[in-house]
Amino acid sequence: MTTTEIEDEAIAIAGPAHLEADEIFTGLAGLEVGDRDDATTLAQIAADCKARREDIDEQRKRITTPLREALAEVNGLFKPAIETLQKTETAIKALIVAWRQHSIDEGDRLLESAGLLGNPDDITRAVTLRGAPDKIPGVQIRRTWSGSVIDADAIPRAFMVPDVKALEQMTKAANGRPQIPGWAPEEKTTIALIKPNGGA
């Protein structure tokens, strides 16, 4: 199928489906659940919507799966070249970074030596060595900083981030009453639609 044919088929399915879904959704305006019968009726409408949504999604997959598989094939063909060039670029950058650091270290060593011996030639060479790494045509030097925690107890509280996921797990295990200072549990209620045989 051509791109135009695929697009036409998708539009033929998705267009009417959208109008149908919009009509159902618009019909909910002003509705309220007053009793069990109302809840049962709305639950059936929701179940119908779910079934229709799954049917439409299957039609979407029928169109998109071959496209996704073809895309994966094409990406697979280009991947080795792209990854090899990326590895080459990374390796070259690593060589330049290593040379830059070596130049700076050597410059520092010469400066220290020149300071002790008073040799102006060494001072000039040291300044040249330290400046050279930052003047490479076609290269922009960026400095970033990172670190590692060596004493968690010594880090100021302002930099400590609570483990919200662990707090939520503890709240769930305690059925909403974890009794953790500084933590306020919140309960959220959701509705799951189940089929007559018990499946979701």
* HEC profile of 42-103: HHHHHHHHHHHHHHHHHHHHHHHHHHHHHHHHHHHHHHHHHHHHHHHHHHHHHHHHHHHHHH
Give the model confidence (pLDDT) of 129-141 as tens digits: 666 666 778 878 7
Measured between alpha carbons, how far is 20 from 18 in angstroms, rounded to an integer? Answer: 5
pLDDT surpasses 60 at 58:
yes
Quickly count helices (H) and strands (E) in the chain: 4, 0
Which of the residue ranges 104-113, 163-172, 178-187 would you say has the lowest mean pLDDT?
104-113
Which pLDDT belongs to residue 133? 61
pLDDT surpasses 90 at 110:
no
pLDDT surpasses 90 at 101:
no
Give the model confidence (pLDDT) of 117-130 as tens digits: 556 666 667 666 66
pLDDT surpasses 70 at 199:
no
- Please give the structure tokens belonging to residue 65: 């799966």
Predicted TM-score (pTM) of the model is 0.60
Which pLDDT belongs to residue 22? 93
pLDDT surpasses 90 at 16:
yes
- Please give the structure tokens belonging to residue 85: 């060039």
Q: Which of 2-6, 54-58, 92-96, 159-163 has the highest mean pLDDT?
A: 54-58
The number of C-alpha atoms within 13 Å of 106 and in the hemisphere containing its C-beta is 14
Structure confidence at residue 145 as a pLDDT band (50, 70, 90)? confident
Measured between alpha carbons, how far is 53 from 129 in angstroms, rounded to an integer? Answer: 67
Asked if 17 and 11 count as a contact pair (C-beta separation under 8 A), the reply is no
- Average pLDDT of span 50-65: 94
pLDDT surpasses 70 at 3:
yes
- Average pLDDT of span 146-160: 88
Which pLDDT belongs to residue 92? 92
Asked if 181 and 173 count as a contact pair (C-beta separation under 8 A), the reply is no
Which pLDDT belongs to residue 105? 81
Query: What rounded mean pLDDT belongs to the chain?
Result: 86
